[in-house]
Amino acid sequence: MIESNVSRSCAWCALGSDGTNERLDENHSEHNLSPTGHLVVAVCLGFIGTFGFLNNTLVLVIFCRYKVLRSPMNCLLVSISVSDLLVCVLGTPFSFAASTQGRWLIGQAGCVWYGFANSFLGVVSLISLAVLSYERYCTMMGATQADSTNYRKVAMGIAFSWIYSMVWTIPPLFGWSRYGPEGPGTTCSVNWTAKTANNVSYIVCLFIFCLILPFAVIVYSYGRLLQAITQVSRINTVVSRRREQRVLFMVVTMVVCYLLCWLPYGIMALMATFGRPGLITPTASIVPSLLAKTSTVINPIIYIFMNKQFCRCFHALLMCTTPERGSSFKNTSNVTRTQRTVRRANGNNVTFAVASTVHPTICAPHSGGHKSSSEDGKPVPATGQETTRPVVSLVAYYNG
């Protein structure tokens, strides 16, 4: 029978996947890590937990303080930050404490809870990134202008992310695979090592539907956006070349960081599942786990602090000033589209749309400033604000 109290050797960690006393290794070497190794892991987890908590908390503070950020697209970013913040609050402290002591501290039930919570929130983050990329693709390629007050579609996307993740992470609680100790026994996750058909089938499905599928959606969505911007740059190279380079940099950064954080973990899981017993050493198993957890630190930087709107509001929050005016990404502006249709030799129509925007006051807090009026009755911007002027904010390509 599995013990609820964990000894220093983590005896219950060595039990077989079916709950029997069959040991995975006579000497438990796969669960042992040197004191120095545990200390290094604890330092890494402390860094990840601290900066992940600070970054995502700061995102939520900025979002709550500046009403102008409350657009449908930004709500998806906030959903990602919420899931990452919960990982830093509900998961990382326990693995950090376990690493400082060299053993799991909260028993079998705590291990199952930890494994479920981290798997669920991790999948939420992955699926949310895929939903965000698809939403950006639909917004840019849509035939009609985006409605910055319509939250229904984004709310459905957020609900889908959380429900979909719940569907794929609940089964181990009811017998399709199980949650248990991972690596050196200081973290818990899905049981990657069991060779039963029950366990292998779950891991294969989890790998396909929660890692490969979101990655395919991200690559497809951002790939089409790059294709669209490349086509438009042939018409207006001065305006579009800079945007093309910026979007290319963003896309490459997103894809590379996604692969860096999650691909090693997926490969490790597959090797532990299909490889020979003992193939994955404690060091080899803990490194991909740490990389996956760094996504809680990286996601806010890539998706939010590299966003010009959030960046301006962040600077304003630090300096206690009103942010400088700048173009937004089709979130809070009145959009005017100019379309141009060109007929190709093959008979297909190609429609190019350039959206010009007129921006409201950017990142004003809830109280905001008041506007005065001139003698002829025309409104004059409040003190310290620039005169509103149209700016090109979006270039889209439609292949009909």
* Contact status, residue 365 vs residue 355, Cβ threshold 8 Å: no
> What is the number of alpha carbons within 13 Å of residue 300 lying toward its C-beta?
26
When mean pLDDT is compared across 118-122, 123-127, 139-143, 179-183, the lowest value belongs to 139-143
Q: How far is CA 136 from CA 146, 165, 248, 266, 315, in A?
A: 11, 21, 14, 26, 25
Mean pLDDT value across residues 61-67: 89
The pLDDT-based confidence of 240 (bands split at 50, 70, 90) is low
Domain ranges of the chain: 28-319, 334-399
pLDDT at 250 over 90: no
Its CATH class, for the domain covering 28-319, is: mainly alpha
pTM, to two decimals = 0.74
The helix, strand and coil proportions of the chain, stated in percent and rounded to the nearest 5, come to: 60, 10, 30
pLDDT at 369 over 70: no
How confident is the model at residue 239, as a pLDDT?
60
Closest CA to 79 of 128, 147, 130: 128
Rounded Cα distance between 286 and 265, Å, is: 9
Pairing of strands 349-358, 390-399: antiparallel
Rounded Cα distance between 187 and 101, Å, is: 12
Q: 237-274 vs 197-207: helix axis angle to the nearest 10?
A: 170
How confident is the model at residue 324, as a pLDDT?
59
Looking at this protein, which amino acid is placed at residue 332?
A: T
* Contact status, residue 127 vs residue 161, Cβ threshold 8 Å: yes
